[in-house]
Amino acid sequence: MLSQQQKLSYQENGFLILENFKSIADCQQLKQTANTIVENFIPENYSIFSATDRQARSDDYWITSGDKIRCFFEEEAFDDNHNLIVDKNFAVNKLGHAMHELDPIFRGFSADERLHTIATDIGMVQPHVLQSMYIFKQPRIGGEVRCHQDSTFLYTDPMSVIGFWFAIEDASIENGCLWGIPGGHKGPLTELAKRQPSGNAITIKKLADPEWDTKAMIPLEVKAGTLIMFSGKFPHMSEANRSNKTRHAYTLHVVDGNCHYPHFNWLQRQDNTVGPTFTQLNSLL
Ligand code: FE2
């Protein structure tokens, strides 16, 4: 699937851009499905935005979402009295974290054997699709995502996670595209998130000072249908979306089933696996 040059580029930069990877029709179908999930969701049943216990409830709702389809709202979508102040369809930050398994349209989009081949091309032995997220990056209220490495949150020993980031809509500087530091993955993992043995609290431990040259951060502006893949140590971020346009994206995080997946990771599926292989996803179609 990947040429020698693409493999070298990935190793050197920590990311690779594959244009026209998905058709516009496939992107539109996924977008429609995501919007329908939001339309059918009843935010009144969802009280995490109570100011006093937001954190605790949020953690519980979040931490058990690894094998479910759940909606996570933008903070700025609510006023101080916990009332939704924007249309529900423009209030959701993301869906997570098992659409690839539980929703037939998402499953069809995700069960793409080319992704298995790409993952093995860059050295993964046994690719498993650990999680999926549909990110809305809403107009005007879509929040910033600070610079981070995905291995901080989805750690394996040795580190193996790959992010597959699909632009479902055109992503530009204006509407909050991804930014990243080419070569930044060569430095150490700087933080590690750990779920505490009791309760749902997650602590983030500093492991090393970032060696990232933030001046080297570049915008990854891409058209709908483009796949950006990146290593678990690739430092990346996105600015808030202050434009009037959405910036929908779909991500899959794939880990190597041959690596150890520790209990301290926030995402623990009830079946105690690291998610289906691409072949298993295909057999569900
Ligand atoms: Fe990330």
| Distance (Å) from CA 81 to ligand 1 centroid | 31
- Alpha carbons 260 and 157: distance in angstroms, whole number: 5
Instruction: Express the helix, strand and coil content of the chain in percent, nearest 5 each.
Output: 30, 25, 45
- Alpha carbons 270 and 36: distance in angstroms, whole number: 26
| Distance (Å) from CA 47 to ligand 1 centroid | 26
Expressed as residue numbers, the domain containing 29 is 4-283
| Distance (Å) from CA 148 to ligand 1 centroid | 6
Report the CATH number at residue 206: 2.60.120.620
| Distance (Å) from CA 231 to ligand 1 centroid | 10
Structure tokens at 141: 């209220």
| Distance (Å) from CA 195 to ligand 1 centroid | 18
Please tell me the predicted confidence (pLDDT) of residue 88: 81
Q: If you compute the radius of gyration of the chain from its CA atoms, what whole number of angstroms results?
A: 18
- Alpha carbons 109 and 134: distance in angstroms, whole number: 12
| Distance (Å) from CA 154 to ligand 1 centroid | 10
Per residue in 227-238, pLDDT tens?
A: 999 999 999 999
Residue 34 DSSP code: H
Per residue in 50-102, pLDDT tens?
A: 334 444 444 678 888 899 998 888 777 777 777 778 788 888 889 999 999 99
Number of separate domains in the chain: 1
Per residue in 134-186, pLDDT tens?
A: 999 988 877 788 899 999 999 999 999 999 999 999 999 999 999 999 999 99
| Distance (Å) from CA 37 to ligand 1 centroid | 23
- Alpha carbons 168 and 259: distance in angstroms, whole number: 31
CA atoms within 13 A on the CB side of 137: 30
Report whether 131 contacts 98 (CB < 8 A): yes
Furthest CA-CA distance within the chain: 56
| Distance (Å) from CA 205 to ligand 1 centroid | 17
Q: State CA 259 to chain mean position distance.
A: 20
| Distance (Å) from CA 136 to ligand 1 centroid | 14
| Distance (Å) from CA 97 to ligand 1 centroid | 14
Kindly compute the dihedral angle of the four CA atoms of residues 56, 271, 280, 277, in this order, to the nearest 10 degrees. Answer: 60
43 — pLDDT class (breaks 50, 70, 90): low
| Distance (Å) from CA 149 to ligand 1 centroid | 6
